[in-house]
């Protein structure tokens, strides 16, 4: 039998990293096993579901590279089937009509210290068959509750092993509301059976729903899927991941310059291990290595620092041309950028090669590119204060000496390095005493790539103009 898995998000918000991790595990399993990945949008919450959220979820999955073989199926399109399943359970005596007022039932249950569904069952059982049918025929509003049988519900979870729930701890769940709309647990069972889902892989927060769904599968005579509940994601403080830990939506990480392959790599390692010491893994490696047997039971920790570290590793591996295109897209609308240089493929390739090892995110890459692509430099106060303002006269003297040397210098890294170091020696100072004020003049920053590489990339005319601008600023201090 072909493996069929599904991801079933609710379009009541954007694609959360927890949902993305669940989708990824299902997708990896399907691709590893040659199975089918079904995407179902659970849009039956009419008040909170939004088309823009559905689109954001689809966009997020697409950005991560998670494609689907079937769907997106809208859960709302199956409402008549859900209702039919509920009414079949009612006809077979496996469910009952609940005509009671919910508020009154809750109050009585609180007074008697019992679950509201037990009160509802008592009232339903006290009603004769004829009275029940008459009230329904008269149009009295009723919900339909599933009658949980006595005993124990067991199922095997491929992460947690055999799981048991005493049925006394499971309430008679509502499967059809008073307005005729289906409730989550019934809709999920009906939809998964309709899509012939063989494996339900989802977060451990759904574990408590599983015995209810298992009972519904059995009552409806439907084949039960294999269940696997993956660990929840916590922040570094041990608490369940939420907005207080920072970004939680996939789209936010895209905006922060995280690469999709890095986020996929990171999410795959949240609660799963390849069985060796690999951490930096491409998609093909993840597919080849993935198995549910290596999914952990304990909660996974979302460490943003590790994500950024992984991102830097993936960024460094990307072909230069891909990063050129990415960087150009980030900078093309910057009004201060040198449009001519942005369109020079050779110069942009040289720029990316120079700065990518210093960049951990695409945002870093864009920031590190700024001193090279901006027409007007932005000077860091700290850099000016340390290397110019402490001793303006000396800084000016050294930059003037650099200007004299550069005017006739051979414009190669080796010649520039040899000449500037020799000049520093003639001045009786270490090379850093010359290089640091020069770096501020060329980049406006405390740190940059190697100064000789910077000079070559900027070019002679551009470098000399920046040094002149820098000396003018020093004179104005």
Query: Does residue 112 sit in the same domain as residue 53?
Result: no
Domain for residue 337, yes or no? Answer: yes
CATH of the domain at 101: 3.90.800.10
From CA 231, how far away is CA 272, in angstroms rounded? Answer: 9
| Residue appearing with tokens 């006595």 | 150
Q: Given 351, 373, 395, which residue is the final one in a domain?
A: 373
CATH of the domain at 397: 1.10.10.350
Query: Does residue 407 sit in the same domain as residue 446?
Result: yes
Tell me the pLDDT of the chain (477 aa) as tens digits. 899 999 999 888 788 888 999 999 999 999 999 999 999 998 877 777 777 788 889 999 999 999 999 989 999 899 999 999 999 999 999 988 888 877 776 777 677 777 777 776 777 677 777 777 777 777 878 888 898 898 999 999 999 999 999 988 888 888 988 888 898 999 999 999 999 999 999 999 899 999 999 999 999 999 999 999 999 988 877 777 765 555 578 888 988 889 999 999 999 999 999 888 899 999 999 999 999 999 988 888 888 899 999 999 999 899 999 999 989 888 877 767 777 888 889 999 999 999 998 999 999 999 999 999 988 899 999 999 999 999 999 999 999 999 999 999 999 999 999 999 999 999 899 999 999 999 999 999 999 999 999 999 999 999 999 999 999 999 987
From CA 240, how far away is CA 260, in angstroms rounded? Answer: 23
Query: Does residue 258 sit in the same domain as residue 305?
Result: yes
The H-or-E segment that residue 369 falls in is helix 362-373
Q: Facing residues of 4 across strands? A: 36
Which pLDDT does position 339 carry in this prediction? 74
CATH of the domain at 302: 3.40.50.620
Domain for residue 270, yes or no? Answer: yes
Q: What is the DSSP string of 225-263?
A: PEEEEEPPEE-TTSSBP-GGGS--BHHHHHHTT--HHHH
Q: Given 317, 341, 357, which residue is the final one in a domain?
A: 317
Helix 17-33 and helix 51-64, axial crossing angle in degrees, nearest 10 = 50
Interval 253-297: pLDDT, tens: 988 889 999 999 999 999 999 888 899 999 999 999 999 999 988
Which pLDDT does position 337 carry in this prediction? 75
Helices (H) and strands (E) in the chain, counts: 22, 12
Domain for residue 428, yes or no? Answer: yes
Query: Does residue 86 sit in the same domain as residue 112?
Result: yes
Domain for residue 120, yes or no? Answer: yes
Query: Does residue 294 sit in the same domain as residue 322?
Result: no
Q: Is 239 a catalytic residue?
A: no
Query: Does residue 322 sit in the same domain as residue 311?
Result: no
List CB contacts of 420: < 8 A, sequence separation 6 or more.
402, 405, 431, 434, 435, 438, 451, 452
CA-to-CA dists, residue 473 to 304, 306, 345, 371, 376, angstroms: 40, 41, 33, 17, 13
Q: Exposed, middle or buried, 87 (CB in 10 Å: 0-12/13-18/19+)? A: middle
pTM for the model stands at 0.85
Query: Does residue 400 sit in the same domain as residue 470?
Result: yes
Asked if 389 and 450 count as a contact pair (C-beta separation under 8 A), the reply is no
Domain for residue 9, yes or no? Answer: yes
Query: Does residue 393 sit in the same domain as residue 472?
Result: yes
Active-site residue (options: 32, 113, 212, 243)? 243
Mapped onto helix, strand or coil, the DSSP state of residue 56 is helix
- Structural domain harbouring 355: 318-373
**Virtual torsion, Cα 240, 245, 246, 247, nearest 10 deg:** -10
Which pLDDT does position 100 carry in this prediction? 80
Mapped onto helix, strand or coil, the DSSP state of residue 94 is coil
Q: What is the CA radius of gyration of the chain?
A: 32
Asked if 448 and 439 count as a contact pair (C-beta separation under 8 A), the reply is yes
Interval 406-440: pLDDT, tens: 999 999 999 999 999 999 999 899 999 999 999 99
From CA 362, how far away is CA 46, in angstroms rounded? Answer: 38
From CA 382, how far away is CA 282, in angstroms rounded? Answer: 40
Asked if 155 and 214 count as a contact pair (C-beta separation under 8 A), the reply is yes
Domain for residue 205, yes or no? Answer: no
Which pLDDT does position 454 carry in this prediction? 96
Domain for residue 17, yes or no? Answer: yes
Q: How many structural domains does the chain have?
A: 4
CA-to-CA dists, residue 171 to 57, 82, 95, 157, 167, angstroms: 33, 20, 12, 22, 8
Which pLDDT does position 286 carry in this prediction? 96
Query: Does residue 356 sit in the same domain as residue 385?
Result: no
Which pLDDT does position 167 carry in this prediction? 87
Query: Does residue 345 sit in the same domain as residue 401?
Result: no
Query: Does residue 130 sit in the same domain as residue 116?
Result: yes
From CA 349, how far away is CA 343, in angstroms rounded? Answer: 11
Interval 205-248: pLDDT, tens: 899 999 999 999 999 999 999 999 999 988 877 777 765 555 57
Phi/psi for 286 (5° steps) reads -65, -45
Domain for residue 197, yes or no? Answer: no
Q: Given 317, 344, 363, which residue is the final one in a domain?
A: 317
Query: Does residue 240 sit in the same domain as residue 313?
Result: yes
């Amino acid at each position: 039998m072909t493996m069929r898995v599904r991801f079933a998000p609710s379009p009541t918000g954007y694609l959360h990293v927890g949902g993305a991790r669940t989708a990824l595990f299902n997708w990896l399993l399907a691709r590893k096993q040659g199975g089918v990945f079904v995407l179902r949008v659970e849009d039956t919450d009419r008040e909170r579901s939004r088309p823009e959220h559905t689109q954001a979820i689809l966009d997020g999955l697409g950005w991560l590279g998670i494609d689907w073989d079937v769907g997106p199926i809208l859960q709302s399109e199956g409402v008549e089937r859900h209702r039919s399943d509920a009414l079949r359970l009612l006809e077979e005596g496996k469910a009952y009509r609940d005509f009671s007022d919910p508020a009154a039932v809750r109050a009585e249950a609180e007074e008697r210290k019992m679950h509201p569904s037990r009160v509802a069952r008592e009232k339903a059982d006290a009603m004769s068959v004829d009275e029940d049918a008459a009230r329904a025929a008269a149009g009295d509003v009723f919900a339909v509750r599933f009658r949980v049988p006595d005993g124990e519900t067991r199922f095997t979870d491929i992460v947690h092993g055999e799981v048991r729930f005493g049925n006394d701890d499971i309430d008679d769940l509502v499967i059809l509301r008073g307005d005729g709309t289906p409730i989550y647990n019934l809709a999920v069972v009906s939809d998964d059976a309709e899509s012939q889902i063989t494996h339900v892989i989802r977060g451990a927060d759904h574990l408590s729903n599983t015995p209810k769904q298992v009972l519904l599968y059995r009552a409806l005579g439907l084949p039960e899927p294999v269940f696997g509940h993956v660990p929840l994601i916590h922040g570094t403080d041990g608490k369940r991941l939420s907005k207080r830990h920072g970004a939680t939506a996939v789209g936010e990480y895209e905006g922060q310059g995280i690469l999709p392959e890095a986020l996929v790599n990171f999410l795959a390692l949240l609660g799963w291990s390849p069985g060796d010491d690999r951490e930096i893994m491409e998609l093909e490696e993840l597919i080849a290595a993935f198995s549910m047997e290596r999914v952990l039971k304990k909660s996974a920790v979302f460490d943003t620092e590790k994500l950024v570290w992984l991102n830097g590793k993936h960024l460094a591996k990307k072909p230069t041309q891909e990063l050129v295109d990415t960087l150009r897209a980030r900078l093309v609308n910057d009004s201060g950028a040198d449009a001519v240089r942005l369109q020079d493929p050779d110069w942009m390739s040289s720029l990316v090669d120079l700065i990518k090892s210093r960049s951990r995110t695409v945002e870093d890459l864009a920031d590190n590119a700024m001193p090279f692509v901006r027409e007007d430099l932005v000077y860091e106060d700290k850099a000016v204060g340390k290397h110019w303002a402490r001793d303006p006269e000396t800084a000016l003297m050294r930059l003037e000496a650099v200007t004299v040397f550069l005017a006739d210098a051979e414009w190669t890294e080796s010649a520039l390095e040899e000449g500037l170091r020799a000049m520093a020696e003639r001045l009786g100072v270490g090379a850093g005493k010359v290089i640091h004020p020069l770096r501020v003049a060329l980049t406006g920053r405390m740190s940059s790539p190697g100064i000789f590489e910077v000079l070559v990339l900027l070019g002679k005319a551009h470098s000399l103009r920046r040094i002149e601008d820098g000396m003018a600023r020093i004179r104005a201090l």
